[in-house]
């Protein structure tokens, strides 16, 4: 396949063409030419789109697809097609399936189901058997079958010694351990951020302290053991400071933040819309400001959608009974594009996650694989259910005004627009 992209503004700080508008010729999935103007002598397929920008393909490190076990929420096939049309050329899929992805057979099943798509799927293995925080799962076997990191999705490691042993053991094969930041003895049955709004609405509070205490504990253990620790979806100002201090000490710690925690506060709770029930909960404007500063300063490494499809039977119910989670692949770019500096946003979706999870990086230059996301950063619209491609429709951004539209991806020698 030969493809000619016309007049694309390149956003890639690793490329010699960063912030330049160029034509790009691609043949059999490899970038052949990048020039000011390329004549289409071979009558190749052309891509010429309004205000076209391209970057390295985006990588979302926290996605749930349901399959196996929860196909009514999302299948791998529809999930990967949704990811591609949302600008993601790679996704890391959480192990909260049924059965839990805690062994090589389940990892192999997930990988086999994901063959042949534009978007590449990288499984995350469960850290403990059945994600029950009791016994360590088959980490080395899962790594050999394609798992890129290990953690129990939204389930904290309550046993400190278990985390200690995991960090020590994983060093034998350069494994990355993920620890969800929540102390359940403090969080208990909390539903939303413990603040004025939780009191006003009569909803059980989930204090920032629950997150911060767990992070402090995990960082002490990391300092003792060494190894590599990734803390997913932090949400408070104090969490940013704790991780900043740990990085200054030279600890190998990285972290991510979700798109919705960067733009929405707990003021969204006023309508008791169960789509706003997420974990970690929506916090305050003070926390948002600290999270954005943490991104700009390089303390926070990755932005994720934390895409978690929930079927209507478990979401459109009384707030206290609804499951935590929102979809987010389709809305991530539009929600953040005018909030986060463009270079910071793109880095947090491309080079940063790939370095941390040890995934191949393809910068935009001649001879590299064409692994590209195509988008228009200036298109403003209201996000409605018509924009949702996922099987489940539980979006926290429904009816929000977004700016920035994704055209699609070019990856794995496939074009999805």
Structure-block tokens of residue 98: 């049924």
Residue 397 covered by a domain: no
Residues 237, 165, single domain; the answer is yes
Residues 264, 251, single domain; the answer is yes
Residues 253, 350, single domain; the answer is yes
Helix (H, G, I), strand (E, B) or coil at 260: helix
Residue 187 near residue 206, CB atoms below 8 Å: yes
Number of domains in the chain: 2
The CATH number of residue 150's host domain is: 3.20.20.140
Residue 390 covered by a domain: no
Residues 36, 178, single domain; the answer is no
The CATH number of residue 412's host domain is: 2.30.40.10
Residue 387 covered by a domain: no
pLDDT digits (tens, 9 = 90+) for 368-386: 999 999 999 999 999 999 9
Q: From edge to edge, which strands make up the β-sheet containing 58-63? A: 58-63, 88-93, 120-123
pLDDT of 237 strictly over 90:
yes
Residue 68 covered by a domain: yes
CA distance 84 to 78: 10
Residues 241, 372, single domain; the answer is no
Residue 80, domain extent: 57-356
Strands 192-193 and 205-206 turn out to be: parallel
Residues 49, 63, single domain; the answer is no
pLDDT of 240 strictly over 90:
yes
Helix (H, G, I), strand (E, B) or coil at 411: strand
Residue 15 covered by a domain: yes
Residue 390 near residue 329, CB atoms below 8 Å: yes
Residue 386 covered by a domain: no
CA distance 380 to 203: 34
Residues 172, 191, single domain; the answer is yes
Residues 222, 321, single domain; the answer is yes
Mean pLDDT within 165-179: 97
Residue 322 near residue 314, CB atoms below 8 Å: yes
Residues 245, 167, single domain; the answer is yes
Residues 107, 215, single domain; the answer is yes
Residues 261, 370, single domain; the answer is no
Considering the chain, what percentage of its residues have pLDDT values greater than 90?
99
Residue 391 covered by a domain: no
Residues 15, 96, single domain; the answer is no
Query: Which residues are the active-site residues?
Result: 306
Structure-block tokens of residue 261: 């925690």
pLDDT digits (tens, 9 = 90+) for 259-306: 999 999 999 999 999 999 999 999 999 999 999 999 999 999 999 999
Q: How many residues does the chain have?
A: 417
CA distance 37 to 23: 5
CA distance 28 to 14: 23
């Amino acid at each position: 396949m030969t493809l000619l992209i016309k007049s694309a503004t390149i956003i890639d700080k690793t490329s010699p063409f960063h912030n330049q508008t160029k034509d790009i010729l691609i043949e059999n999935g490899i970038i052949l030419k990048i020039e000011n103007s390329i004549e289409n002598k071979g009558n190749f397929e052309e891509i010429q789109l309004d205000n076209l920008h391209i970057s390295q393909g985006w990588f979302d490190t926290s996605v749930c697809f349901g399959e196996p076990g929860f196909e009514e929420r999302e299948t791998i096939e529809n999930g990967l097609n949704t990811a591609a049309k949302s600008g993601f050329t790679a996704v890391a899929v959480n192990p909260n399936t049924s059965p839990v992805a805690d062994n090589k057979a389940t990892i192999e099943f997930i990988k086999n189901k994901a063959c042949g798509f534009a978007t590449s799927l990288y499984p995350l293995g469960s850290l403990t058997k059945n994600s029950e925080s009791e016994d360590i799962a088959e980490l080395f076997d899962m790594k050999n079958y394609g798992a890129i990191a290990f953690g129990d999705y939204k389930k904290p490691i309550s046993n400190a010694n278990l985390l200690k042993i995991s960090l020590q053991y994983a060093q034998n094969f350069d494994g990355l351990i993920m620890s969800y930041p929540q102390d359940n003895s403090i969080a208990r049955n909390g539903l939303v951020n413990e603040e004025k709004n939780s009191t006003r609405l009569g909803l059980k509070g989930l204090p920032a302290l629950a997150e911060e205490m767990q992070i402090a504990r995990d960082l002490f253990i990391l300092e003792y053991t060494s190894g590599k620790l990734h803390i997913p979806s932090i949400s408070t100002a104090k969490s940013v400071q704790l991780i900043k201090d740990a990085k200054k000490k030279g600890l190998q710690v990285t972290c991510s933040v979700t798109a919705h925690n960067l733009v929405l506060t707990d003021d969204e709770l006023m309508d008791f819309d169960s789509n706003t029930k997420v974990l970690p909960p929506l916090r305050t404007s003070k926390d948002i400001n600290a999270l954005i500063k943490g991104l700009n300063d390089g303390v926070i490494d990755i932005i994720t959608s934390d895409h978690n499809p929930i079927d209507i039977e478990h979401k459109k119910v009384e707030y206290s009974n609804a499951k935590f989670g929102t979809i987010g692949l389709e809305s991530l770019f539009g929600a953040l594009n005018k909030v986060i500096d463009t270079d910071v946003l793109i880095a947090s979706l491309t080079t940063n996650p790939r370095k941390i999870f040890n995934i191949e990086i393809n910068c935009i230059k001649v001879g590299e694989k064409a692994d590209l996301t195509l988008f228009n950063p200036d298109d403003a619209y209201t996000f409605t259910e018509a924009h949702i491609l996922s099987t489940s429709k539980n979006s926290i951004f429904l009816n929000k005004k977004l700016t920035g539209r994704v055209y699609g991806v070019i990856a794995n020698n496939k074009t999805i627009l």
